[in-house]
Amino acid sequence: MVSSYQKHRKCGNWIKLACIRENIALGNSCDFWYNSSQAAQEVKMDIKKLKTQYLEYLEIEKDRSQKTIENYDHYLERFLAWARISSPSDITDDLVRSFRLHLNRQVDEKGRPLKKITQNYHVIAIRNFLKYLARHDVKTLSADKIELGKTLRMEVEFLESEEVDRIFEAAAGSDLKTFRDRAILELLYSSGLRVSELTNLNRDQVNLKTQEFSVRGKGGKIRVVFISDRAKNSLQRYFDKRSDIDPAVFARIGIKRLEKKDKADNSRLTPRSIQRIVKYYALKAGIVKDVHPHTLRHSFATDLIANGADIRSVQEMLGHSSVTTTQIYTHVTNKQLKEVHKAFHGKRRK
């Protein structure tokens, strides 16, 4: 046990040394205090309460996004609900191993197993929670004893230039909704924005004159994104057509925004709404791939790499904290290797 506690020789409880000294100074009976229910309640640490404190730590000290906190809450709650434990000391190597087996054997209604990367998200949440407990002198399993599982390299699905053009052409029309949807598609492909970054955009952020603006991405990191002439023109047509004063770049059509500042911003499009819009125009264009907003982000990155952009620049534009994440796109297409293959393969065949 940590040095700030001492185990009593009679009752076996772990007692805070500071409290022991205080009671001795006051002349109280140590045996009485050791066996009191108050001491037992103080020493016994409820894991649910510790989890809540950890999530508050992520919010305040680590400044994590609300989505990250929600994800950690989900993964930890799933573990605790399965484990049915009440104290951090109940977390053992065998318990974590059994939970990982449970995750690995889970299947959905279609018989598909839980993805390895999703399984690792659970393990990462547990491991970071254990690190937090250790820093606060809470007796539990060491985080170093938990290793992440090996994951397969992520397979990137992207659109060819011809497929991108078909999706854009599918969003043809002169009404406000079509102008909005076309601007969404053009902006996603032109800037490589994440869907959450897109939905959080306000009109005063977007500078069409310079064709660049700042966004706050994962982990609160700010980066500059750039837009093409075609995306600029689509946004300009959409803005010119709007007559409302809603600050959101992309809002629902036909919703009258309330003037009061304290009212909820319920007219802003959600990530789910953007996903439906992208999927609708992909189907309308006859694209057989499973297209979603991130597919356009993948297509943006792949297009840059294929045309000779250096990996570090692409990393900056995507907002990746590690270049390792960006390197997945170098395996999708490599013009130099393609040229070598074309120049030297099969030359001996007649």
**For the segment 106-141, what is each residue's pLDDT rounded down to a tens digit?**
988 888 899 888 999 999 999 999 999 999 999 999
Catalytic residue among 194, 232, 268, 298: 194
Annotated catalytic, 110?
no
The predicted-structure confidence for 283-303, as pLDDT tens digits, reads as follows 999 999 999 999 999 999 999
Catalytic residue among 51, 100, 297, 298: 297
Instruction: Determine the average pLDDT of the residues in 17-23.
Output: 53
Catalytic residue among 34, 75, 281, 329: 329
Average pLDDT, the chain: 83
Residue 259 pLDDT greater than 80, yes or no: no
Annotated catalytic, 194?
yes
How many residues appear in the chain? 350
Task: Give the lowest-confidence range in 230-234, 252-256, 315-319.
Answer: 252-256
Instruction: Determine the average pLDDT of the residues in 195-204.
Output: 94
Give the pLDDT score at 25: 52
Annotated catalytic, 51?
no
Annotated catalytic, 218?
yes
Catalytic residue among 116, 177, 292, 294: 294
Instruction: Determine the average pLDDT of the residues in 316-324.
Output: 88
Give the pLDDT score at 174: 92
Distance CA 9, CA 30 (A): 11
Catalytic residue among 218, 242, 252, 279: 218
Instruction: Determine the average pLDDT of the residues in 181-187.
Output: 97
Annotated catalytic, 320?
yes
Annotated catalytic, 331?
no
All residues at 6 or more sequence positions from 77 whose CB lies less than 8 Å from its CB, including other chains: 51
Query: From residue 50, how far is each of 23, 47, 91, 130, 230 by CA, in Å?
Result: 27, 5, 13, 10, 51
* pLDDT over 90, % of the chain: 59
Give the pLDDT score at 153: 63
Domains of the chain: 5-43 (no CATH), 47-144 (1.10.150.130), 161-256+264-338 (1.10.443.10)
Nearest CA-CA partner of 333 in 315, 296, 308, 316: 308
Catalytic residue among 64, 127, 298, 320: 320
Note if the pTM is more than 0.75: no
Instruction: Determine the average pLDDT of the residues in 186-193.
Output: 95
H helices of the chain, in order, are 17-25, 30-34, 37-43, 47-60, 66-83, 93-104, 116-135, 161-170, 176-191, 195-199, 229-241, 271-284, 293-306, 311-318, 323-326, 335-344
